[in-house]
Amino acid sequence: MTLEVMARAEGPIALNLAFKVEPGELLALVGPSGSGKSTVLRTIAGLWTPTTACVRVGGETWLDTARKVSLSPHQRKLGMVFQSYALFPHLTAEANVMAAMTDQPKASRVPEARRLLDLVNLGGLRQRRPADLSGGQQQRVAVARALARNPKVLLLDEPFSAVDRATRDSLHGEIRALRAGLTMPIVLVTHDMNEAQMLADRLVVIDAGQMVTSGPTDEVMVDAAALRALGIREAGSALHARIAAHEADELTRLDTSAGPIWLPLIDAAPGAALLVRIMAHDIILSRQRPAGLSALNILAVTVVSIRTGDGPGALVTCRAGDEVILARITRRSARMLELAPGVSCHAILKSMSVARDHIGLTP
C-alpha cells in the first residue's frame, strides 16, 4: 500500500507539495518550525483540508478535493502519534490501546492490547493511567494505540520532542526495532535533523509550505537547497558501522567500510550494527596523514565535490569505502589545501566530538 499525497493551498497556511511513501518506508517531513510540516500530516489524517489536495492509500481515496471526496478522520484507517501524547486520561494504558480497536472482535482485544504493550516494553504497566506514567512511557502507549487499529498509514507528529534526551534516545532505538515488523508507510514530522537522519529512509524538506527537495536521506543531507532550508550547521553524514570490540580504556572500536573508528564506550554487544551521525563541522581535513595528533580517528578519503556559498565556508563531500563523509571547512582552507574532486586526503574526527544521541542501534 503506497501513500500518495498532494496538497496545494494559498492561505492561511500556504502549501505546495506532492510526495509518495512506499510500504514499510519511513519518510520524514523536515523543515523550520512553522513551515507547514504538521499541516501536511493533519491533511493526511483528515484533521485539516487544504483548498486543493489529494490523499490516496493503496487503491483507496481518502481525500480528493477535485472530486469532492473527503473521508472524516475516523473513516481513515490510520494511526497517529501526537506530540502531546494525547492519551485518554480516564483510561488505563490497556484501555487506551483497546479504544482504537472498535472494529475488532471483542474477544481478541485484550490479548492484542497486551501484545502491543509488550511490543513497546510496557507490559508491566498495563493498568496504569496516563497520569501515573512518565512522558516516555505515555508516548510508548501512544505508539501502541496508534498501531492497535492495524493502520494503513502510521503518522508521527513530533513524537519525541516533549521527552528528555535520554528517553528520546531509547525511543529512537525502539522505533528502529519496531519498524522491522511494520509494513505500512510511515510519515514522521520532526524539526530535529538528528532524529530525521537517524530514522528516515527518505526526507521531504519543506520551507514556508513549499517542497524544497525530496529523496533518500543520504542524498538530501548533502543537497545544497536542503541545507539552505535546514541550516548549514545540520550538515552531516550517517556512517554505517558495526561494533568490533570494547577496549580496556573505555573506548569502543567500530568497523566501517571507511576503516576503523574509536568512540567513547557504546552500550551494545560486539557485532551490533550502528548508525553514527558525523557532523560536517566536526571534521578536519588534512592532505598528509597527520602525526602527533590527539584525534584518534583518521580516515583516508577522496574528495568528490566542493561547494562554496556566499559565506566563508565550503562544504566538501568525500568518499571512503561505501561511506560519504561531509566536511565543513573554510574557503581559505580549501584553497590552501588545493582541494579538488579526485584529490586524496585524510578526514580527522575527534572521538569525543560525537554526541551520544548521534549513535543509534539499527536492527
Residues forming contacts to other proteins in the complex (CB under 8 A) are 45-47, 72-74, 77-80, 82-84, 86-90, 99-100, 102-103, 129, 131, 145-146, 148-149, 155
Q: Which of residues 190 and 256 has its CB atom nearest to other proteins in the complex? A: 190
Q: Which of residues 126 and 149 has its CB atom nearest to other proteins in the complex? A: 149
Q: Which of residues 93 and 347 has its CB atom nearest to other proteins in the complex? A: 93
Closest contact distance (angstroms) between CB of 130 and other proteins is 9
Closest contact distance (angstroms) between CB of 74 and other proteins is 5
Closest contact distance (angstroms) between CB of 57 and other proteins is 14
Q: Which of residues 2 and 150 has its CB atom nearest to other proteins in the complex? A: 150
Closest contact distance (angstroms) between CB of 96 and other proteins is 9
Closest contact distance (angstroms) between CB of 113 and other proteins is 12
Q: Which of residues 76 and 346 has its CB atom nearest to other proteins in the complex? A: 76
Q: Which of residues 61 and 104 has its CB atom nearest to other proteins in the complex? A: 104
Q: Write a three-state SS string for the chain.
A: CCEEEEEEECCCCCEEEEEEECCCCEEEEECCCCCCHHHHHHHHHCCCCCCEEEEEECCEEEEEHHHCEECCHHHCCEEEEECCECCCCCCCHHHHHHCCCCCCCHHHHHHHHHHHHHHCCCHHHCCCCHHHCCHHHHHHHHHHHHHCCCCCEEEEECCCCCCCHHHHHHHHHHHHHHHCCCCCCEEEEECCHHHHHHHCCEEEEEECCEEEEEEEHHHHCCCHHHHHHHCHHHCEEEEEEEEEEEECCCEEEEEECCEEEEEECCCCCCCCEEEEEEEHHHEEEECCCCCCCCCCEEEEEEEEEEEECCCCEEEEEEEECCEEEEEEEEHHHHHHCCCCCCCEEEEEECHHHCCHHHEEEEC
Closest contact distance (angstroms) between CB of 170 and other proteins is 23
Closest contact distance (angstroms) between CB of 134 and other proteins is 16
Q: Which of residues 140 and 149 has its CB atom nearest to other proteins in the complex? A: 149
